[in-house]
Structure 1
Amino acid sequence: MNDAPASPVAAGEAPAPLTHRRVLAIAVPIMLSNATTPLLGAVDTGVIGQLGAAAPIGAVGMGAVILSFIYWTMGFLRMGTSGLVAQARGRGDSAECAALLLRGMLIAGASGLIFILLQAPLFWAAFELSPASAEVEDMARDYLSLRIWGGPFAISVYALTGWLIAMERTRGVLILQIAMNGLNIALDLLFVLGFGWGVEGVAAATLISEVGGAALGLWMCRDAFAGDGWRDPARIFDRVRLINMAKVNGDILIRSCLLQFGFGFFLFRSADWGDVSLAANQVLMQFLAISAYALDGFAFAAEALVGQFFGARRPDLLRRASRLTSAWGLACVATLGAGFWLLGGAIIDLMTTAPEVRAAAREYLPWAALAPVVGLPAFMLDGIFIGATRTRDMRNAMLWSLALYLAAWAALVPLFGLHGLWAALMCFFVLRAITLGLRYPALVRAAA
């Protein structure tokens, strides 16, 4: 389970070679790990679908979406942990690496307990925003009332994953995801089809897999507890370090909320042209999701390597890490874009059988094929800036990008209709790259 990562790059020491092989050793396991994520959702739906009724399927889907959104707000913990630990590792500060993991686990535990205590108002607000039939809501509440107890463990996995990525142990991340999802699927089959527990069976399966995943993740990170850093209260609760961690995570949260608003705005505005256009764009957004899953590997590699060299004060290696990870990212998106262009029609046909939706999706398919290439610079710069924990720059860049994206939407849609909406989304990608790119020289200078 231990990945034998490259050694820390402390200032003045000879660094481990930064090669293409090292980049791929970080990136490929993440890409494979991401590929397991949609499989779990499909199995959950397929297993509960064997009950022969629509309400349980809707209840599981609604409950999963509600909890995914609640836990998503804590996603900053993965990114913040990754950047801060990578920098501590670059400085050769193993005690701080351990302390950061414990801080992350404490934040995860406290957040999960808060969600458990606030479950009643949270679920009420969710059902007010997205009402369903009384039968579906009752089943969804049963699902949520079980799964919410996994909150501290599910959020802990964010911190554990960020730590493993920073330590270049992404094979561990892959094993963790396979183990969690595999256990979840096995228990789904046992509890739902074997014991007949229905919706509660799916919830119990996920809860147990989250607890098991957190336990396995802790075991994978066990060498963090070999020293004294994790049991040094003065270090763990150091005011300056806590404030810095809060600033980093707060900036990432704001940036992520703005980014999600930008994508949500695109989808909601698609409805202005009717249900067919909305459905077509929803299908095409899956192409963007596939691209993001693939690019995560290289963006995470940038986080780990840039963070490490930023901490080691090696701007030369930081620039090389940025170039190498981005070059592999470009190869990835070029392949994906060509694949979407050539095979996009067949993929669309697999996703929908509605002739009018197929026709509309084909009309706008060139935009979806172009999106990965256009979005690459922004995606890779995100990883670079997270690694360097230049999160204030990320937050400010996203504010400017979103404002200008909305201005582009207002200008282009009256002229070009739905094509204008897609063009505005491409502008959003480009603007994110420009606003971050302008701050990249300052990032390199800070590393020196």
Structure 2
Amino acid sequence: MDDRASLRQVLGLAVPALGVLAAEPLYLLVDTAVVGHLGAVPLGALSVGAIVLAQVSTQLTFLSYGTTARTARLHGAGRRAEAVAEGVQATWLAIALGLVLILAGQLLAAPIANLLAGQGEVADAAVGWLRIALFGTPFILITMAGNGWMRGVQDARRPLRYVLAGNGISAVLCPLFVYGFGWGLEGSAIANVTAQVISAALFLRALRVERVPLRPEPAKMRAQLALGRDLVLRSLAFQACFVSATTVAAHHSTAAVGAHQIVLQLWTFLALVLDSLAIAAQSLVGAALGADDDRRARGLAWQVTGYGFVFGCVLGVVFAALAGVLPHVFTSDASVLGEIPQAWWFFVALQPIAGIVFALDGVLLGAGDAAFLRTATIFAAATGFLPFVWLSFAFDWGLAGIWTGLSLFMLVRLGTVVLRTRSGRWAVPGAVRV
């Protein structure tokens, strides 16, 4: 059997995945552009609120990535009904966790905002945004679980339709709520929740038509949580970095945190654009290992990595060319625009490295090699990002110090995932990884 997938097969999974992955950050970019013209304080509040809300979903990525790893192997072994059943259990977990997080978030919104931004106008505005936006949490998690099982069975088109339906409607509602109805910053939070409700409802309907049992099964949920433990710890390492970065930027100045919000949202957007190839790698590698073809899985790993590098180079060139134009789309505040160049050129230069790292992350996630990714990410955070971020705080290096830390973080990750992939120890065949 050929160890490579056809380009058409890779793109058939990657392009719809790109739409799904890009939809939420693209909506957030629209949200940032709308709120940015309200002034520096609302933009800073959105930065703080958005980073907190991001913790809710990114700490629980096992609902999507872990579910894909498990369903892809079962799909590759020809056991589709069992693969979809993993999606049912992931959805039950999403509902339970989402309800707990709504309650916890309402209680903790104010102290968390004050911790991140310090007491003042930015923190006060962030609390109002957060308390509304948190009601979308269960729907965010249901959508993550739905994406996870559908990617695993190589159904990439329906998730795209479902996510675009929600976010497309909300992108229209956001300026209407913010300016037309005069709701200001809170209007963006209401539009956000609207998107999440619509998308989640469509994913729930998709499970109902699969004709698999919908009752909760504690044994399967416990198995998902075991894989989820490593992915949660990995996500915590990521978020310790990004929360620290936003905190340091917020304490530096209002202009700095506004500029950081704009560049960070662009970074997040392009990270997920590059991650579309990683999603294809997850699905294809998991299916190959489920079919006991570890040789094909290793061939696919390097094939997708090459695509990621080329894609990252193209994105770096495009955003270098847009340096003088794109920031003005998001804000007209002169102080914020003056801070953006300190982060912008780091963001541009990192794109080719990110293309490789994210592709290999997808390969290892598809293989279920979550324990290694957990350890590698914590190591990169502890030796790269966090020291420079807090040195930036101590010595007032501003955004240049923060983004130097991000660069070191990415370089350490690059070394670890390349060495792991070359070792081949991740390519464990079988419908279930032992």
- TM-score of the pair, normalised by structure 1: 0.77
Say whether residues 1:115 and 2:101 are aligned partners. yes
Is 1:280–1:358's contact at 8 Å kept on the other side of the alignment? yes
CA shift digits 1:336-384 (9 cap, x unpaired): 1222333333334555667787676557654332201123322112111
Q: Which runs of 5+ in 1 are unaligned?
A: 1-13
Is 2:118–2:251's contact at 8 Å kept on the other side of the alignment? no
In structure 2, the partner of 1:182 is 168
Q: Measured at CA, do residues 159 and 370 of structure 1 come closer, stay the same or move farther in structure 2, by a change above 3 Å?
A: same
CA shift digits 1:271-319 (9 cap, x unpaired): 8987777766665545533421320211111111111112222112212
In our comparison, the structure showing a higher alpha carbon Rg is 1
Is 1:109–1:155's contact at 8 Å kept on the other side of the alignment? yes
Give 1:289-304 correspondences, 5 Å limit: 289-304=268-283
Does the residue aligned with 1:100 lie in a helix, a strand or coil? helix
Q: Measured at CA, do residues 184 and 356 of structure 1 come closer, stay the same or move farther in structure 2, by a change above 3 Å?
A: closer
Structure 2: how far apart are the matches of 1:53 and 1:420? 25
Say whether residues 1:166 and 2:143 are aligned partners. no
Q: Measured at CA, do residues 61 and 363 of structure 1 come closer, stay the same or move farther in structure 2, by a change above 3 Å?
A: closer
Structure 1: how far apart are the matches of 2:137 and 2:250? 34
Among candidates 365, 373, 382, match of residue 394 of structure 1: 373
Farther-moved stretch of structure 1 (130-139 vs 299-308): 130-139
Q: Which runs of 5+ in 2 are unaligned?
A: none
In structure 2, the partner of 1:28 is 15
Percentage identity across paired residues of the two chains = 28
Is 1:146–1:204's contact at 8 Å kept on the other side of the alignment? yes
Structure 1: how far apart are the matches of 2:251 and 2:27? 33
Provide the alpha-carbon RMSD of the alignment: 4.3
In structure 2, the partner of 1:10 is none
Is 1:310–1:388's contact at 8 Å kept on the other side of the alignment? yes
In structure 2, the partner of 1:317 is 296
Is 2:241–2:386's contact at 8 Å kept on the other side of the alignment? no
Is 2:36–2:42's contact at 8 Å kept on the other side of the alignment? yes
Structure 1: how far apart are the matches of 2:261 and 2:178? 30
Deviation at 1:251, TM superposition (A): 0.7
Is 1:388–1:443's contact at 8 Å kept on the other side of the alignment? no
Q: Measured at CA, do residues 409 and 17 of structure 1 come closer, stay the same or move farther in structure 2, by a change above 3 Å?
A: closer
Name the aligned partner's letter for residue 297 of structure 1: S
Does the residue aligned with 1:446 lie in a helix, a strand or coil? coil
Q: Measured at CA, do residues 104 and 134 of structure 1 come closer, stay the same or move farther in structure 2, by a change above 3 Å?
A: same
In structure 2, the partner of 1:84 is 70
Structure 2: how far apart are the matches of 1:135 and 1:295? 32
Q: Measured at CA, do residues 91 and 328 of structure 1 come closer, stay the same or move farther in structure 2, by a change above 3 Å?
A: same
CA shift digits 1:154-176 (9 cap, x unpaired): 21111011112222222222211
Is 1:20–1:324's contact at 8 Å kept on the other side of the alignment? no
Q: Measured at CA, do residues 65 and 273 of structure 1 come closer, stay the same or move farther in structure 2, by a change above 3 Å?
A: closer
Say whether residues 1:40 and 2:35 are aligned partners. no
CA shift digits 1:184-219 (9 cap, x unpaired): 345557767777777776555544443332121123
Structure 1: how far apart are the matches of 2:131 and 2:402? 40
Give 1:35-434 correspondences, 5 Å limit: 35-41=22-28, 66-129=52-115, 130=117, 137=124, 140-141=127-128, 147-185=133-171, 204-223=190-209, 225-228=210-213, 230-231=214-215, 236-238=217-219, 241-265=220-244, 284-348=263-327, 350=329, 361-362=340-341, 365-405=344-384, 409=388, 422=403, 424-434=405-415
Farther-moved stretch of structure 1 (286-295 vs 79-88): 286-295
Deviation at 1:220, TM superposition (A): 3.1
Structure 2: how far apart are the matches of 1:184 and 1:277? 28
Farther-moved stretch of structure 1 (64-73 vs 243-252): 64-73
CA shift digits 1:17-41 (9 cap, x unpaired): 8211111111112223344334534
Q: Measured at CA, do residues 318 and 139 of structure 1 come closer, stay the same or move farther in structure 2, by a change above 3 Å?
A: closer
Is 1:345–1:362's contact at 8 Å kept on the other side of the alignment? no
Q: Measured at CA, do residues 135 and 370 of structure 1 come closer, stay the same or move farther in structure 2, by a change above 3 Å?
A: closer
- TM-score of the pair, normalised by structure 2: 0.80
Name the aligned partner's letter for residue 175 of structure 1: R
Deviation at 1:264, TM superposition (A): 4.4
In structure 2, the partner of 1:11 is none
Q: Measured at CA, do residues 186 and 322 of structure 1 come closer, stay the same or move farther in structure 2, by a change above 3 Å?
A: same
Structure 2: how far apart are the matches of 1:57 and 1:370? 26
Deviation at 1:122, TM superposition (A): 2.4
Farther-moved stretch of structure 1 (59-68 vs 89-98): 59-68
Does the residue aligned with 1:439 lie in a helix, a strand or coil? helix
Structure 1: how far apart are the matches of 2:384 and 2:41? 39
Q: Measured at CA, do residues 46 and 326 of structure 1 come closer, stay the same or move farther in structure 2, by a change above 3 Å?
A: closer
Aligned length: 425
